[in-house]
Amino acid sequence: MTFAAITTAGSEMADSKAAAHYIAEGCLVDGPLGRVGLELEAHCHDPSDPHRRPAWREIARVLERLPALPGGSRVTVEPGGAVELSGPPADGVVAAIDAMRGDQGVLRSAFADAGLGLVFLGADPLRLPKRINPGARYRAMEQFFASSRSGAAGAAMMTSTASIQVNLDAGPRAGWADRVRLAHALGPTMIAMAANSPMLRGEFTGWASTRQWVWGQMDSARCGPILGVSGDDPGTDWARYALKAPVMLVNSPDAVAVTHWVPFADWVDGRVLLGDRRPTIADLEYHLTTLFPPVRPRQWLEIRYLDSAPDVFWPALVFTLVTLLDDPVAAAVAAEAVEPVATAWDAAAQAGLRDRRLYAAANRCVAVAAELAPPELGGPMQRLVDAVERGRCPGDDFSDQVIRHGIAPTVARRAQGGL
């Protein structure tokens, strides 16, 4: 999702107070609600050999021949070869879904023509983690995680997970605190509804959302929720979070990993010099891109906690989440429904809708969203409502197919567009 960029500067920052002010003032933009941007990730597989990870050059060749996408999405490749579609902001959730569906169809056809396929799961169920993207940022990120206590989780996060990201306007300033609190509080319930990653490295993990489990193993200073004690001031919460988080990379000019723990506050206050200098505003902005909380303020709100899901589910999941945040009546119902499970991140990832409290919250939330769904989303919304009522998430369908047919045939079928 592309909004106006924050202006960068090359001079060194004075201290952590100046950095905190810059972060807090720029993290959200006052304005109306309405725009929606979507980002969808999918694992790239070879249907004839699902255990094989297609090489960087194979994927690059597909993208070199890719025609213009009708919805204007940008295509990028994640460290492990997952392919991401990043759509521009659209006027409303239905327009965003329609545009993404069109771009997804073109992308899927291009990969099929090359003998490859896209699998929409929250975690790669079959292959060991391996980076294929040669970019300097990802090489340095890999080195950073390898030197930390999050090494295995970092490798899996980079190369074996895929998500749906929903980007929304921050809305009017007076509503920011409630909006950010609700975006966080919805997390566990939406994770339980969207859970679609029951396997990793060829085995069932016992978690409905293994993707969320992986993220939960990461350093909470970089990947945990940003809310403070009260959540009354999102800008202050984000500034505090960002200054405490360790610096991952320094551009000198290429990305270089910081392999010892250096909170950004220590760098900007001069207690530690990285690259023999204090950070510039450009360094601060780059640092913010290396922080991965489930809800991230980027002038707009990035909501990052949904597993990647197949076509029969993702439009309804997206519509539900956006409606629960942007429609005032639905938001009020949702806030009450999810209050008992607002911090149940681990329960949502492990048990999903088998947790009775999450089951109750999910049914209330999806019911109110379904009442507001337009006719063109009637089919997907009814499928989601039915699944939630039965306590099933998208990953349950995948698990059933693996048990019936085996993991490699199931992945191959998904890569060819089947369910």
Taking the alpha carbons at both ends of the chain, their separation in whole angstroms is 29
Cis peptide before 253 (omega within 30 of 0): yes
- Give the pLDDT of residue 229: 54
What's the rounded Cα separation, in Å, for the pair 59 and 159? 15
Rg for the chain (alpha carbons), in Å? 21
- Give the pLDDT of residue 355: 98
Helix (H, G, I), strand (E, B) or coil at 61: helix
- For residue 419, give the nearest of 316, 314, 349, 275 by alpha carbon: 314
From first to last of its 419 residues, the chain has per-residue pLDDT tens of 443 333 445 789 999 999 999 999 999 999 999 999 999 999 999 999 999 999 999 999 999 999 999 999 999 999 999 999 999 999 999 999 999 999 999 999 999 999 999 999 999 999 999 999 999 999 999 999 999 888 899 999 999 999 999 999 999 999 999 999 999 999 999 999 999 999 999 999 999 999 999 999 998 899 999 986 567 899 999 999 999 999 999 998 889 999 999 999 999 999 999 999 999 999 999 999 999 999 999 999 999 999 999 999 999 999 999 999 999 999 999 999 999 999 999 999 999 999 999 999 999 999 999 999 999 999 999 999 999 999 999 999 999 999 999 999 999 999 998 77
Chain-centre distance for alpha carbon 71: 20
**DSSP code string of 275-317:** TTB--BHHHHHHHHHT---SEEESBSEEEEEEEP--TTTHHHH
Burial 282-305 (b: 16+ CB within 10 A, else e): ebbbbbbebbbbbbbbbbbbbbbb
Structure tokens that stand for 347 in this block: 């329960």
- Give the pLDDT of residue 230: 65
- Sign for the pseudo-dihedral over CA of 117, 45, 143, 307: positive
Longest dimension (CA), the chain: 62
Could you identify the residue written with the tokens 């890569």? Answer: 415
Long-range contacts of 136-139 (CB under 8 A, 24+ apart): 136/254, 136/255, 137/249, 137/255, 138/79, 139/255
Residue type, 162: A
Question: CB neighbours (10 Å) of residue 119?
Answer: 26
Tell me the residue length of the chain.
Answer: 419
Taking CA 294 as the corner, what is the angle to CA 368 and CA 192, rounded to the nearest 5 degrees?
45
Residue type, 91: D
Is the distance from CB of 299 to CB of 26 less than 8 angstroms? Answer: yes
Residue 46 phi, psi dihedral angles, 5° rounding: -95, 110
In the chain, where the domains are located: 16-245+291-416
- For residue 165, give the nearest of 87, 72, 79 by alpha carbon: 87
Is the distance from CB of 161 to CB of 214 less than 8 angstroms? Answer: yes
Is the distance from CB of 234 to CB of 243 less than 8 angstroms? Answer: no
What's the rounded Cα separation, in Å, for the pair 78 and 63? 13
CATH number for domain 16-245+291-416, candidates 2.30.30.830, 3.40.50.720, 3.30.590.20, 3.30.70.2860 = 3.30.590.20
pTM score: 0.95
What's the rounded Cα separation, in Å, for the pair 318 and 92? 11
Burial of residue 230, with CB atoms counted within 10 A of its CB: 0-12 exposed, 13-18 middle, 19 or more buried: exposed
Tell me 161's DSSP state. B
What's the rounded Cα separation, in Å, for the pair 184 and 28? 16
H helix runs in 27-92, sequence order? 56-64
